[in-house]
């Protein structure tokens, strides 16, 4: 079956394309290239440039490529920006999803895998977050992912669409330099950018209720995230549906600890600078991915140092 991957020229999307094509799954990519790069895609993968807000465009792509399954990754994802521009995030992430789902149902698409986020949990009341932990997002970004999950699951139940929602935790690293994260929204590239400029890395608040006062997150290698997509997509194609999975490692690392590790690996040991908290940042979010590892032949293979090392090597390669 042919899979449509929206946002497939992006950081995570290109890794999903790599994983699925190497496993023999035919894919076509839709991307508006607002943050994606077509050079990330294998030459044999068709790229359709356009927006999920464009229904006529989607209808044509689904028809011409005989799409049977969709992996939806295209979305705005910066928490701070979502606080400043909530209408943009609701339009891109919720309205865009509604238009895509409507097109999928009309085209008779059978499977739909939705890229969600750990941000749906907000500040969880437990040490480890399971898929049954109550959803309480703290930012418009998290709200759009929560609403997206509701819409996807309701659509699946109403129209017989096999659906899955994958709640990523903090994605990092790269499988190869050409697919590296070139944005500065995630912690590791943000720290790299500061270090390369000879500036101290920034810590956004050190007064959180955590052991060292900085936010604690669960980091997962992007290659492991991509393999989870492949496993879940194949599960959907086999007839399963209404699935919800955390994608994480179950290991919390604080921002201060991450910056220290980055300094050791890169050789740039500049002490961090403390600045104000960012709106929408919960103190601690750490996953348990037991459900995914029990249901499917998947487990994470990369540790945090390998995430940092792969990202740093990619940065040196691409920037000379």
Backbone angles phi, psi at 34, to 5 degrees: -70, -30
Tokens of 258: 């991450």
Q: What span, in angstroms and rounded, lies between the C-alpha atoms of 244 and 5?
A: 19
The active-site residue out of 89, 121, 141, 245 is 141
Tokens of 64: 């011409």
CB-CB contact of 25 with 53 (8 Å): no
At which residue do the structure tokens 């959907």 appear? 236
At which residue do the structure tokens 């077509």 appear? 38
Could you confirm whether 141 is annotated as catalytic?
yes
The full 3-state SS of the chain, as one line of letters, equals CEEEEECCCCHHHHHHHHHHHHCCCCEEEEECCCCCCHHHCCCCCCEEECCCCCHHHHHHHHHHCCEEEEEECCCCCCHHHHHHCHHHHHHHHHHHHHHHHHHHHHHCCCEEEEEEEHHHHCCCCCCCECCCCCCCCCCHHHHHHHHHHHHHHHHHHHHCCEEEEEEECEEECCCCHHHCCCCCCCHHHHHHHHHHCCCCCEEECCCCCCCCCCCEEEEEEHHHHHHHHHHHHHHHHCCCCCEEEEECCCCEEEHHHHHHHHHHHHCCCCCCEEECCCCCCCCEECECCHHHHHHCCCCCCCCHHHHHHHHHHHHHHHHC
Which residues are identified as catalytic?
141
């Amino acid at each position: 079956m042919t899979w449509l991957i929206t946002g497939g020229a992006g950081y995570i999307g290109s890794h999903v394309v790599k994983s699925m094509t190497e496993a023999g799954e035919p894919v076509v990519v839709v991307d508006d290239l607002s943050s994606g790069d077509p050079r990330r895609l294998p030459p044999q993968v068709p790229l359709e440039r356009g927006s999920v807000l464009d229904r006529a465009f989607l209808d044509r792509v689904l028809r011409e490529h005989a799409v049977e399954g969709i992996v939806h990754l295209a979305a705005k994802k910066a928490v701070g920006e979502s606080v400043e521009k909530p209408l943009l995030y609701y339009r891109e992430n919720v309205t865009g999803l509604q238009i895509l789902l409507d097109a999928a149902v009309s085209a008779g698409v059978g499977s739909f895998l939705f890229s969600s986020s750990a941000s749906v949990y907000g500040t969880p009341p437990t040490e480890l977050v399971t898929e049954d932990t109550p959803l309480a997002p703290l930012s418009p970004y998290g709200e759009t992912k929560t609403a997206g999950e509701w819409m996807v699951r309701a659509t699946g139940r109403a129209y017989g669409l096999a659906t899955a929602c994958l709640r990523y935790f903090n994605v990092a690293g790269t499988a190869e330099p050409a697919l590296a994260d070139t944005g500065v929204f995630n912690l590791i590239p943000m720290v790299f950018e500061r270090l390369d400029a000879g500036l101290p890395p920034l810590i956004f608040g050190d007064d959180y209720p955590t052991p060292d006062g900085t936010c604690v997150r669960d980091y997962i290698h992007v290659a492991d995230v991509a393999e989870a997509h492949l496993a879940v997509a194949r599960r959907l194609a086999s007839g399963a549906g209404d699935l919800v999975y955390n994608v994480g490692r179950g290991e919390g690392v604080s921002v201060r600890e991450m910056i220290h590790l980055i300094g050791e690996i890169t050789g740039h040991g500049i002490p961090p600078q403390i600045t104000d908290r960012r709106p929408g940042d919960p103190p601690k979010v750490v996953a348990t991915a037991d459900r995914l590892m029990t249901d499917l032949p998947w487990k994470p293979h990369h540790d945090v140092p390998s995430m940092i090392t792969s990202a740093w090597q990619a940065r040196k390669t691409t920037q000379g």
